[in-house]
Amino acid sequence: MELQNDFLSEGGKLYPLLTSVLQENNVNKNLNRLIMDARAQGMLIVHTPIQFSPDYREMGHSPYGIMKVVKDAGALIRGTWGAEIAPFIDRQESDLVIDGKSSIDAFAGTNLDFVLRAHGITTVALAGQLTNICIESAMRSAYDKGYRVFGITDASATIDLEQYRFSVQNNWSMFSLPATHRKFLDQAAVPRCGSHSQEAVPASCCA
């Protein structure tokens, strides 16, 4: 989720806010390891970038909270470098990109749920930004919609380490199965009992 320059790349308008968590957890490298290995296991990679009009009309007249932070920073404007998925993120033509996300929850106002169900997806692994905001919000929605949800702990970042740790340690376990990218991939590769298949369930990695 939201693997965009303004979050992940030096020079990004929100990058300075995430730097401590990005570096502590080696997030950018872990994101690519997750994406590449998940794709190699046959999982569907789904990108959900967040973007806004130049005047931030999607936020209404008086945004507050995290939306105000984004607007005040002049970040994530559609068509700009900052809103593009970072060039070092591994992307392939087989990956899907969900358009129209301009709110916290990736399911709200988009066709994400339809796309996942159309592909027979029953399990989702969530990674990206922001740990305690967009990731946690999508996590709650996916949980409510009946998906089996994994939160990838070492491939997610937010504004500081304190907020990251509080969300992962106190909230994620209520709505997901928190796991490192390696633990998730190893678990996903375990064959079903009595089966030689390497795919335990139809799975999607949402980044």
Of the candidates 113, 140, 127, the residue with the CA atom closest to the CA atom of residue 180: 127
pLDDT digits (tens, 9 = 90+) for 155-168: 999 999 999 999 99
pLDDT digits (tens, 9 = 90+) for 89-148: 999 999 999 999 999 999 999 999 999 999 999 999 999 999 999 999 999 999 999 999
Q: Up-side HSE of residue 29: CA atoms within 13 Å toward CB?
A: 5
pLDDT at 195 over 50: no
Helix axes 27-40, 181-188, angle to 10 degrees: 10
Write down the pTM of the prediction: 0.91
